[in-house]
Amino acid sequence: MAVTAITGAQVFDGEKAIGVRTVVIDGGRIRQVGGEPPAGADVVDGRGATLLPGLIDAHVHSAPGSLALALRFGVTTELEMQGTNTRANRGHISADDSVADVRSAGFGITPPGGHPSELIPDGFRPPWQQPTVPPVLPFATTPHQAAAFVPQLLAGGSDYIKFMIDDGSVEGHPGLPMLDQATLDAGVAEARKYGALTVAHALTLDATRMAVDAGVDGLAHVFMDRPHTKEIVDLIAGAGMFVVPCVCLNASMMGIGGGELADDPRVAGRLDAKWDETLRSSYNRYPQGKLEDVHDTVRALADAGVDILAGTDSSMAETFFGGVAHGASLHHELQYLVTAGLTPQQALRAATATTARRFGLSDRGRVAEGLRADLLLVDGDPTTNIGDTLNTRVIWRRGTRTRWQGR
């Protein structure tokens, strides 16, 4: 692999803008930040552009095809919150620089019939999953069962442990079986014994409080059933939790699709017809929700010092959830975060260094010497205008320049 020098670009290093620097890629790693280009390097002229770390989507459900779509938008890593891309199943992905890298929770712990069982047809098996390898189905109704599933999931290659705290009320299925506090507490405590990161699916304020009380590390959603209170914000902040708001998913649940995003020519040229149709639609299960309340909650959490991570809840298939699409919707999420009150640099951190730090991805998420050369070069300056993240010029995954280019 030839040495590449990116010159003349403003650099956002994952934490802050550091001005114009030469960044040198060598062997899939960042060899140099600053100084002069090495003799003989292939030079990429970055004048008029900003160099960012490759983006990380902190909440997806991925599948063949979706990881390639994500990379087309500069998303170099996706964090699966329910799926099959656990360690034993992703060797081919890790070595494939034409798709985004992935980490996975495997399957979330939930009671029999609990969320997301209501969304999955009986007998459903992803078509790419080996029929001879049944998935671990962590159905738990007692503290003992929840605790027992944690080592099984970790042995099966889960990178973190997810708990589903959901009675179905927001999705239009009220009365679903839901983990009780004792069962949740036991599962989280067991994960802590193994040093495993824990994440909770919680769409309501009451479910969020359960996650806080159990000691969960982070929330895969922000609650959407009511306005925030100072008490819940203080509890989340005091517990040191992170939050992946998935505002674009909340908007879709409220009947607000991604049509405006799909109309953007910077997006339209990268989506096929099915994903375009999905992005323009909405899930529309909670039309009584108020997006302004979600924005206010996100702003209050950020003001309280809570780590905000950018995620979309993009689904494994085009027809599963309307209003979100892999790659494209992460840019939409960044725009929503700025609308909510974050600065553009705070929003960029939410999709780079902050997510990498909270999920223990120490080899990415920043433009720094020795790290993976997962990089995104965009025209303009997204540190002042967040919409410029879509002005893709060049994408690198492990130092390999992707086939898709913005121009």
Percent above pLDDT 70 for the chain: 94
Looking at residue 366, its pLDDT comes to 98
pLDDT over threshold 80, residue 126 = no
What pLDDT is attached to residue 102? 98
**What's the mean pLDDT when you consider all of the chain?**
94
| Sheet with 75-80, side-by-side order of all strands | 55-60, 75-80, 101-104
Rounded to an integer, what distance in angstroms lies between the CA atom of residue 44 and that of residue 40?
12
pLDDT band of 121, cuts 50, 70, 90: low
Reduced to 3 states (helix: H, G, I; strand: E, B; else coil), residue 153 is helix
Burial group, residue 18, by CB count within 10 angstroms (0-12, 13-18, 19+): middle
Q: Does domain 1-53+365-407 have CATH number 2.60.120.10?
A: no
CA distance to 48, 83, 123, 124, 130, per residue, from 134 (Å): 51, 13, 11, 12, 8
pLDDT higher than 70, residue 318: no
Instruction: Average the pLDDT over 239-268 and give the result.
Output: 97
pLDDT tens, residue by residue, 82-100: 999 999 999 999 999 999 9
Give the model's confidence band at 122: pLDDT under 50 very low, under 70 low, under 90 confident, else very high.
Answer: low
- Least-confidence region, from 109-118, 221-230, 239-248: 109-118
Q: Specify the higher pLDDT residue, 36 or 172.
A: 36
Q: Is the confidence at residue 303, as pLDDT, over 80?
A: yes
AA letter at 61: H
| pLDDT of 151 higher than 90 | yes
Domain ranges in the chain are 1-53+365-407, 55-363
Taking 60 as the threshold, does the pLDDT of residue 406 lie above it? no
Distance CA 162, CA 42 (A): 43
Q: What is the pLDDT at residue 405? A: 58
Q: What is the mean pLDDT of residues 156-163?
A: 97
Q: What is the predicted pLDDT for the residue at 131?
A: 45
Whether residue 317 is predicted with pLDDT greater than 70 in this model: the reply is no
pLDDT mean over 293-297: 98
Q: Where are the alpha helices (DSSP H) in 258-351?
A: 259-263, 265-268, 273-280, 291-303, 328-340, 344-350
In whole angstroms, give the CA distance from residue 99 to residue 102. Answer: 9
Predicted confidence (pLDDT) per residue in 42-73, tens digit: 999 999 999 999 999 999 999 879 999 999 99
Residue 326 in this model has a pLDDT that exceeds 50: yes
Task: State how far the alpha carbon of 122 is from the alpha carbons of 119, 141, 177, in Å.
Answer: 10, 20, 17
CB-based contacts of 271, cutoff 8 Å, min separation 6: 69, 262, 279, 325, 328
**Residues sharing a CB contact under 8 Å with residue 360, sequence separation 6 or more, in sequence order:** 197
Contact, 221 vs 252, CB < 8 A? no
Q: What value does the mean pLDDT take over residues 366-374?
A: 98
pLDDT in the model for residue 23: 98
At 99, list the tokens. 């798709």
The CATH architecture assigned to 55-363 reads: Alpha-Beta Barrel (3.20)
pLDDT band at 400 (very low <50, low <70, confident <90, very high): very high
What's the pLDDT score for residue 143? Answer: 98
Predicted pLDDT of residue 197: 98
Residue with tokens 């929840």: 146
> How sure is the predictor about 129, in pLDDT bands with cuts at 50, 70 and 90?
very low
Residue 262 has pLDDT above 70, yes or no: yes
pLDDT confidence bin for 245, thresholds 50/70/90: very high
Give the number of other Cβ atoms within 10 Å of residue 175's Cβ. 8
Asked if residue 105 lies in contact with residue 71, where contact means CB atoms within 8 angstroms, the answer is: no
Residues with Cβ within 8 Å of residue 148, at least 6 apart in sequence: none
State residue 64's pLDDT score. 79
Assess whether pLDDT exceeds 50 at residue 128: no
pLDDT grade for 135, boundaries at 50, 70 and 90:
low
Task: Say whether pLDDT at 108 is over 60.
Answer: yes
Give the least confident one: 170-179, 291-300, 365-374. 170-179
Topology alike, domains 1-53+365-407 and 55-363: no
pLDDT of residue 321: 78
pLDDT at residue 283 is higher than 50: yes
